[in-house]
Structure 1
Amino acid sequence: MRLDNLKHLLIATSLAVAVSAGCVAQTTPNNATPGTPLLGAKQPGHGPAHDEAPTLVTDFSRLVSENGKTVVNISATAAQPRAALTPLWPPAGREENPLPPLFQQFSSRLSGATGSLSRRSGSGFIIVSNGYILTDSSVIAHATRIRVTLTDGREFKATVVGNDPASGIALLKIPATNLPTVRIGSLAGDKAGQWVASIGSPYGLSNTVTAGIISNMSRPLSGESYVPLIQTDMTESDGDAGSPVFSLNGNVIGIEMPVMKEVGYVEGLAFALPIDEAMKVEQQLQLHHAAEHGRLGVTIQDVSWPLAKSFGLNKPQGALVSSVDPQGPSARSGLKPGDVILKMNGTDIPDSTQLPVTIADLKPGTPVHLTYWRDNAMRDTTVTLGRLDAAALAPSAMARTSAADGLTVRGLTAQEQRDAGVKGGVRVEKSTGPAAFAGIEPGDIILMVDNAHVSGPAEFRQKVGNSGNAVALLVQRNGQRMFVTIDMG
């Protein structure tokens, strides 16, 4: 996060007021007495604290003054040395410029010489007055020493109560009492377009404030967390991981999570774990110092309209299985790629977004009853859940659609099949036009056409020719599988 975001926000707001008739900017008085609710907030005890924000918001000062002391800076020393890296930020600048040394002191990406311990900075917030702090698990991963600095300058050595990389949550404890705490909120009633603010420690600069809007309430990101994340248009920098995201009523609704593996550092693109799921994990960490999550052992994706049509469904629904872990619990239950999971324990699954969360909230060993679609018929099976860990988080493949076959394929050699861990299939030699637009690339391995395995190029062409106006292909790339639809109409 950077403070210039707020400056740009204020400029844009002023322009909007100047050109919009009847659009009035409302501000929260800076001299409001403590305890007075922010604009759009409801008093505690008068129903759910849903945001009723004004059209324009230009003052977040009281939110910050009430919550700034609950946010802490976390400094962690990693257990293993890291190789020296050439810093990408800040720019080298002139020798007399004081800013590069300041950023270099705190940046988590700037490690020392090879053989030295790496240090990284993050943020967290106090949830219990006797020193319990929530943060992002990546902040303290493999750390041998963790220091927490409060806004009043006091420094404490922190202990790890529990760390759950699968969800991205860690719980710390410092030896202090009578600390200010945040108010935990809920996502119920919040929606895209609402204002949010965050307080964090980018590059170790504590109590740095930024504001923005919720861009999307439920954004699945492969390999980051089993929970769909909140997307905002704020900027995320080194040291912001673990920062609380506040709604306008001053309640925490999310925890900032870095997603560099997925999208890198992008201006105006940040993600947060919903606080509802974070608190479920926090309860387990408090009680057991660890969290347990159920696991199906499948990779799923959404069912698009073309995919629904190719599978014989009357509308997009459910979660499409694109790959099955051969050693996982679903393989033992008979689930296969191409199955569409429509119900779990009798409850409809409208799309693939919430299924991973529902499964992860259950304990390993729990039996779940699944209703799925295969070969134009409903089927049932029971899966005894396995155990989810961070290594088991499989990327969620997203379907892509296009319009016609533009593929040149060949058969795989026996060695290629062994190397890829497949039997049969065809390798894409050339992908042009609509096929390339659909996302199919040279080197991809196509294993299935419309839920039927293919053994070679001749069978592939035959099945594609008999597919009608739409064809669904199961594609393997770099060990990961996903269904891709080509609309032949």
Structure 2
Amino acid sequence: MVPNPMTVSRRLMVCAVTAAAIFAQAAAATAREAPGSFADLAEKLLPAVVNISTTQTIKNPERIPEMPQFPPGSPFEDFFKEFMERQARPDAAPKRATSLGSGFVIDAAGYVVTNNHVIADADEITVTLHDDTTHKATLIGRDSKTDLAVLKIDPGKKTLTAVPFGNSDQSRIGDWVLAIGNPFGLGGTVTAGIVSARARDINAGPYDDFIQTDASINRGNSGGPLFNSAGEVVGINTAIFSPSGGSIGIGFAIPSTLAKPVIDDLKQFGRTRRGWLGVRIQSLDPELAESMGLTESKGALVASVNAGGPAAKANLKPGDVILKFDGRDITEMRKLPRIVAETAIGKKAPVEIWRDGKRVIVDVAVGELPEEPEEVASKSPEKPQTQAQGQVIAGTGLTVSALNPALRERFGLEEDTAGLVVTEVKDGPAAEKGMKPGDVIIEAGNKPVRNPADLTKAVEAAKASSQKFLLLRVENPQALRYVALPLSDGKKK
């Protein structure tokens, strides 16, 4: 018997609806549901979170602070004068300042993690456990670049509760997180929220990769843990964004994958041992990428190479663009320092670079990042300004001159500096790229320039080949960098 077409159609519709319902139910079953309560998790984790207080001795100022202005003859004038003189007396007793923060136990032997800024410059560090017992803490090690510190207390016969680290790379935007800490000195306070964003750069340091959360974080939460729903530490609460100083739902935590290797080094060596490549890098903008023949502005552009460093030994050169390091894509410049820092010292890592219009792979033996020498602030005396001298490079807004003793003195340039010095920048392509008088153009189009004719020739050659940008290598006291100089009448490709 031939089935009724209408009956078949209705059956197919029912089957489709049933399949859709089953699929929706399965999807709902696999989705993470909001917990009915965090009480069990909080009860388990609270004993591992500690309050940290520090004291610091502040010496009296050597000069009398400026006194408020009062009308002549005011009775307050003598009162404030006497008060401020007493405060500035050399024999007056030093003052002691206190600050509060948070931390958490990572080892039952008494190791505690917190932020470096919580204990910076402290004379004494006190750790208060969840049961209100206090212990004097010893600083084991600190790292200002990641804002982490490891402390040690002697728990005696007390059994400490320690918490494990989780894998922050597995945390997804929208996952539930729990923050526990000591906001405003109130002690064990629990707040909940979600992961709001990943890989935030807030210009706090060279390895910024913060987790952003809307869990309430306030002053005093610094150094406290950010837990996932399994009770693992996925972040260390470090900073907030707040115009008012209070929580507005934008907090930042150091991810555990960045923190754990640093903490392990601090425990073992008392300092951080980081991988080192020995290059100064800059980001690629679309103009720089195009001038180098790249279709995407991804990677880290090598601006200079440290003599005798790992990169120099592997024959990396200024102008190379690092696309991959040890098999990991460098999608943006700021990722490279962190990836190198996490690489084992001594490891031979393959580095994929873009050089002369093609991909090249070199092997680099990763070195150890040397301790940075203490910076000595030196201010050069102001040089008298003279009228611009040199040759105008048409279409660029630049006036340049070959280096001579007078120009070296005027701009504070070293004797071994070689290139063309910029003496004036007018409105135009160079000004738009941030070039200034005193900049030294070392190369143009990957060729050395030593006099204005060299630069003019490079500009004309670039225009003749229909290039829209001329690649310049520029040096000043602050940095060595590449600049893609727009050519105003360059022909479109």
TM-score under structure 2 length normalisation: 0.66
Q: Distance in 2 between matches of 1:274 and 1:119?
A: 28
Match of 1:414 among 388, 405, 408: 408
- Structure-2 change in CA distance of 1:426 and 1:62 (3 Å): farther
1:230-250 deviation digits (Å, cap 9, x = unpaired):
344667655333121233444
Q: Distance in 1 between matches of 2:199 and 2:458?
A: 36
Q: CA deviation at 1:255?
A: 1.2
Q: CA deviation at 1:283?
A: 2.7
Q: Distance in 2 between matches of 1:473 and 1:114?
A: 59
Q: Distance in 2 between matches of 1:208 and 1:236?
A: 10
1:133 equivalent in structure 2: 112
Amino acid at match of 2:51: N
2:288 equivalent in structure 1: 307
Q: CA deviation at 1:75?
A: 2.1
1:8 equivalent in structure 2: none
2:357 equivalent in structure 1: 376
Q: CA deviation at 1:362?
A: 3.2
- Is contact 2:216-2:247 (8 Å) kept? yes
Q: CA deviation at 1:166?
A: 4.2
Amino acid at match of 1:479: Q
Q: Distance in 2 between matches of 1:195 and 1:390?
A: 39
2:478 equivalent in structure 1: 479
Between 182-191 and 385-394, report the one with greater CA deviation: 385-394
* 2:65 aligned with 1:75: no
- Is contact 1:226-1:393 (8 Å) kept? no
1:423 equivalent in structure 2: 418
2:32 equivalent in structure 1: 52
* 2:99 aligned with 1:147: no
- Structure-2 change in CA distance of 1:273 and 1:450 (3 Å): farther
- Is contact 2:276-2:366 (8 Å) kept? yes
2:320 equivalent in structure 1: 339
- Structure-2 change in CA distance of 1:343 and 1:125 (3 Å): same
Q: How does 1:109-124 map to 2 (within 5 A)?
A: 116=95, 119-124=98-103
Where 1:206 maps in the other structure, the secondary structure is coil
- Structure-2 change in CA distance of 1:136 and 1:420 (3 Å): farther
1:18 equivalent in structure 2: none
Percentage identity across paired residues of the two chains: 35
Q: CA deviation at 1:442?
A: 6.3
Q: CA deviation at 1:211?
A: 5.1
- Is contact 1:426-1:455 (8 Å) kept? no
Match of 1:296 among 277, 280, 297: 277
Q: CA deviation at 1:319?
A: 2.3
Q: CA deviation at 1:147?
A: 0.8
Q: Distance in 1 between matches of 2:212 and 2:374?
A: 20
Amino acid at match of 1:281: V
Q: Distance in 2 between matches of 1:456 and 1:203?
A: 62
- Structure-2 change in CA distance of 1:60 and 1:378 (3 Å): same
2:78 equivalent in structure 1: none
Where 1:245 maps in the other structure, the secondary structure is strand
1:12-37 deviation digits (Å, cap 9, x = unpaired):
xxxxxxxxxxxxxxxxxxxxxxxxxx
1:24 equivalent in structure 2: none
Amino acid at match of 1:135: T
- Structure-2 change in CA distance of 1:368 and 1:203 (3 Å): same
- Is contact 1:368-1:384 (8 Å) kept? yes
1:138-174 deviation digits (Å, cap 9, x = unpaired):
3334443211112332111112233333443322222
TM-score under structure 1 length normalisation: 0.66
- Structure-2 change in CA distance of 1:487 and 1:434 (3 Å): closer
Q: CA deviation at 1:373?
A: 2.1
Query: What residue ranges of structure 1 are gaps of 5+ in the alignment?
Result: 1-39, 43-50, 85-112, 395-404
Q: Distance in 2 between matches of 1:444 and 1:58?
A: 62
Q: CA deviation at 1:421?
A: 7.6
Larger Rg: 2
- Structure-2 change in CA distance of 1:452 and 1:59 (3 Å): farther
- Is contact 1:53-1:248 (8 Å) kept? no
Q: CA deviation at 1:306?
A: 3.0
Query: What residue ranges of structure 2 are gaps of 5+ in the alignment?
Result: 1-27, 63-91, 376-394
Q: Distance in 1 between matches of 2:240 and 2:93?
A: 26
- Is contact 2:419-2:441 (8 Å) kept? no
* 2:165 aligned with 1:184: yes
- Is contact 1:163-1:289 (8 Å) kept? yes
Q: CA deviation at 1:473?
A: 4.4
Q: CA deviation at 1:208?
A: 4.4
Q: Distance in 2 between matches of 1:481 and 1:64?
A: 51
Match of 2:258 among 268, 277, 284: 277
Q: Distance in 2 between matches of 1:429 and 1:329?
A: 38
